[in-house]
């Protein structure tokens, strides 16, 4: 069952099985205190009427990562720099032969972490786009293998919050430690001790206070909080890791 010499040495440019390559996006954000995912409603068969992850073809002249960035901008209006490794990350590639009933499609799934979505996207059918909390989305029947992709993407982000500074991606440029804590609680679905959270985050050096700034308390009162910013726009490995409770 050894491969022929041509296949072993390289690729024969004239005879290869043609595939379509797409990118699918798991766009996550915190909405109403819940980790939520951006889904679009399909208008055509197969899976017409079903919710699906946004995505599209990789074009002949762009890299797979560029295609993901382009699709993110088209679907959400979020523009990311090419060297911004944090907001959009490759998740995994899904390549079962029957995952699209019409043709052979290999999809490179990505996960995007966004702070908040621009209210409307010009040139796009806004009615077909919705934010669904992930628990509800996982209970639904999604198009293609998008339920599997979504599950993997959520687990990926939950792990990443333990080891990197990526939680600040869900926050605006300036945030309080309470807001940052609510990100962890929404993603992990747990409650965190306020005092211990503060100590760990400050020790990890991923945030720095903005001198002379304070939050304004909500309508129900409360002491105003110091505002912080992320020390780096790049995702940083945090040491010691920030383990989620079990």
Partner DNA sequence: TCAATAGTGTCTTTCAGACAATATAAT
Partner DNA sequence: ATTATATTGTCTGAAAGACACTATTGA
Q: Is residue 156 classed as helix, strand or coil in its secondary structure?
A: helix
| 224 scored as a contact of a copy of itself (CB under 8 A) | no
* Window of 26-34, 92-100, 131-139, 168-176 that interacts with a copy of itself by CB under 8 A: 92-100
Q: Which residues, numbered 18-57, are part of the site for a copy of itself (CB under 8 A)?
A: 18-22, 40, 42-46, 56-57
Is the backbone peptide bond immediately before 240 cis, with ω within 30 degrees of 0? yes
Give the nearest distance from C-beta 151 to a copy of itself in angstroms: 15
Q: Within 13 Å of residue 217, how many CA atoms lie on the same side as its CB?
A: 6
Give the nearest distance from C-beta 195 to a copy of itself in angstroms: 22
Its sign, for the CA torsion 210, 187, 170, 156, is positive
Residue 108-147 contact track with a copy of itself, rule CB under 8 A, x = bound: x------------xxxxx--x-------------------
Q: Where along the sequence are the contacts to DNA (CB under 7 A)?
A: 176-179, 193-196, 198-200, 203, 215, 217-226, 240-243, 245
225 binds, among DNA, a copy of itself, none (CB under 5 to 8 A by kind): DNA
| 85 scored as a contact of a copy of itself (CB under 8 A) | no
Integer angstrom CA distances of residue 13 from 7, 17, 124, 152, 226: 11, 10, 38, 34, 60
Strands 207-214 and 51-52: what pairing?
Answer: unpaired
Both tokens assigned to 78: 């979020």
């Amino acid at each position: 069952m050894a491969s022929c010499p041509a296949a072993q040495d390289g690729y024969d440019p004239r005879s290869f099985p043609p595939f379509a390559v797409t990118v699918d996006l798991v766009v996550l954000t915190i909405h109403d205190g819940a980790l939520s995912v951006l889904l679009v409603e399909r208008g055509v068969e197969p899976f017409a009427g079903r919710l699906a992850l946004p995505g599209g073809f990789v074009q002949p002249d762009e890299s797979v990562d560029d295609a993901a960035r382009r699709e993110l901008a088209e679907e959400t209006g979020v523009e990311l720099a090419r060297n911004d490794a944090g907001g959009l990350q490759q998740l995994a590639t899904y390549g079962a032969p029957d995952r699209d009933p019409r043709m052979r499609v290999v999809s490179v799934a990505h996960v995007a972490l966004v702070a908040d979505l621009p209210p409307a996207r010009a040139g796009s059918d806004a009615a077909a786009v919705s934010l669904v909390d992930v628990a509800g989305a996982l209970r639904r029947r999604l198009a293609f293998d998008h339920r599997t992709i979504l599950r993997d993407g959520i687990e990926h982000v939950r792990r990443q919050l333990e080891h990197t500074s990526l939680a600040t991606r869900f926050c605006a440029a300036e945030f309080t430690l309470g807001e940052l804590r609510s990100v962890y609680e929404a993603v992990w679905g747990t409650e965190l001790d306020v005092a211990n959270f503060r100590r760990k985050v400050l020790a990890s050096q991923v945030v720095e206070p903005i001198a002379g700034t304070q939050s304004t308390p909500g309508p129900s009162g409360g002491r105003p909080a110091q505002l912080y910013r992320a020390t780096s726009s790049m995702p940083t490995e945090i040491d010691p890791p920030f383990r989620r409770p079990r």
